[in-house]
Structure 1
Amino acid sequence: MTGYIWQVEKTQNPRFPYRISILEDARTVLALRVQDKWPGQKGNIFCIREYGAPDDGENLEQIESVPIAFLRRQGKRVEIVLDRHNRKRCDFLFLKKVSPSGEAQEQIFFRTQTGLRSHRSKGSPLLYGSEKLEIVIDSSERYPWRFPSANLGRSRLPAGDYALVWENRYIAVVERKTFENLLHDLYEIRILHQKLSELSSFPNPAVVIEAQYGDYSDTARIGDSLSAPHINRLIGEISALHPGVQLIFAGNRKLANAWTSRFFAAVRRRIADSGQNSDEAAQRPPTFLSTPVRQDLEIRKKILEEYALRPDGFSMKELKADLGTADTAPLRRIIQQLKREEKIHSSGKASATRWHIL
């Protein structure tokens, strides 16, 4: 990540003898007073956040200035990789502890892989929580996977077969493939690329296959239409051309269902942990292009959210005026879809028809 610098300075404070700051184009993004310039054998060290600029009279001696190769906030952690060969991977863990007086106090720990490797929780998941999941299953799924603890809905999805939804926004989408489904799609690889391009325009997309990767090298199963080496080349091409889409060979139906359930739960927990709102969680990937499907989603969002506040509902004329469009065909299609999903109902007839959010 260009533009970020890791800077270490020596202070005159014996308790916190070093100051570590992260700079973006000479602007201080984060500054911490630390007990050592690198945790070393300690594994992790305690830090305190610096508020405001250092005092004018403080004598700070710069001892390191290193470009940052990777910087990411992941929930309560800030992950950093420095652009050098040694002592390059670390993170800062930000915690809140309630004091006996009831006041929330911040605790910050500077950690490296040495400390993480020796810690008893090194195998524990990073994402905790028990948020209730809302999952929409595509209406064309005849024998869908099961999600016993989730709130389920059925609808015609614009892409994929299963979607994790939060506040009427898609925050993860999974396309389900049996062994035969993927094999057939590989025969028509150009069409498959088009479908995956659409899938990749959604946040957290994945294709989950109810087969092993090795199954596609089994000549008894794949038949004579495509050779095993050619199929393997096509699968490699999928990952190369759609790097934002996870391709998961789960092994069988049960494991594919289990992986998707854990994946949806982890996405939801990550969002809750990061404090993102639903707009941020549903943010389109950088490769997003405006498509008819995406335009339909924006219209659905407007109807379900903005018109829910109108006790008298809305008419087709009002909807056209708000959206600034003269084409009623997509609007009528979306309204009929919402009606089938029992999200809206109508009153009146013909040109006097008004629609109301349920």
Structure 2
Amino acid sequence: MGAVPDDFLIARNPDEESTLPFLVRIPLGPNGIVIKAKDTWPRTGKVYCHRAEAWPDDAEIIERVPTRVCTSRGASIELVLDRGKENRSQFVLTRAKGRPVIFWQSARTAKQARPNIRLPTARPAVGEPADLEVLVDSHERYAWRFSHQQVVTTPRHLAVGDYAVEVDGSVVAAVERKSLEDLVSSLLSGKLRYALAELSGIPRAAVVVEERYSRIFSLTYARPAVVADAVAECQARHPSVPIIFAETRALAQEWTFRFLAAARHEVTLESAATGEFDALTPAGPVPAAPEPKASRKKRTRDPDGGPDTASVRAWAVGQGFDVADRGRLRPEVWAAWDAAHHDAQAT
């Protein structure tokens, strides 16, 4: 279908109850294609559109532009207007939630939606040389595969978050993934507040959104100001769980990979340090210099004496406990030691 010698028309939508305030007549076919649109041109983002029944006879036309090219190519309509600026755009026909929709985009907004970047393939600057094991919630639909990252995924039921990493069998970092629609729904229903409260209970956590923050202010099914306020309130109430807008699905996945790797590394370092100094000596003068490592005495569990970590670790291994070669011992290992030696003393 070739060029159509007709004008491109924009008018006000006479239906005052519609959330799409403009009518657009695309000069394609004998009678043209009439759609309802959110804006008069895709300047800052894609414009949501929907088919209209017909072009009204008494339409209040606010813009009339001669058309140079208007062609149909598969599921899209290419439009070139006869003017210097804002002259090239495209209407994309697709489906959302089972119903047909139309998105009006320009080359600028299409580039914003799919930024021209190449994701790095290098390993994180911190972490282990082996592939990172990421736990994926078994209820996660269309889960990330981390195909461009050094990751081994393991399906697991997660009490909180969609993606997580463990240290010594305990979840130490988790990420909750959200699409913009899911974010808005969970904010307005209050579910996200409960999720943030749970996430704040683990050492490292975050919420990552597969969209730009600016998209909040182009929402048509919810008041943008209400959504923006809800995001701000959640972040202020739970400052330890950041809400990250990562622009695209691929960037959200990349950010999550590097966050989980860095979080696991930091928690491992903290655990090792706590295990080495989990029993501090009573407060007193600070020595001028630390003792040489070779002559340093074993740290005990408390200042008044008791089993040192190395002895309890060796006992736990003999009893069949799964313990790491270094770092802090889990509370249940200490509890088992206390119970066993208390029973021995009682007999």
TM-score bracket relative to the smaller structure: 0.3 to 0.5
TM-score by length of 2: 0.41
The two structures have a TM-score, normalised by structure 1, of: 0.40
Q: Bigger radius of gyration, 1 or 2?
A: 2
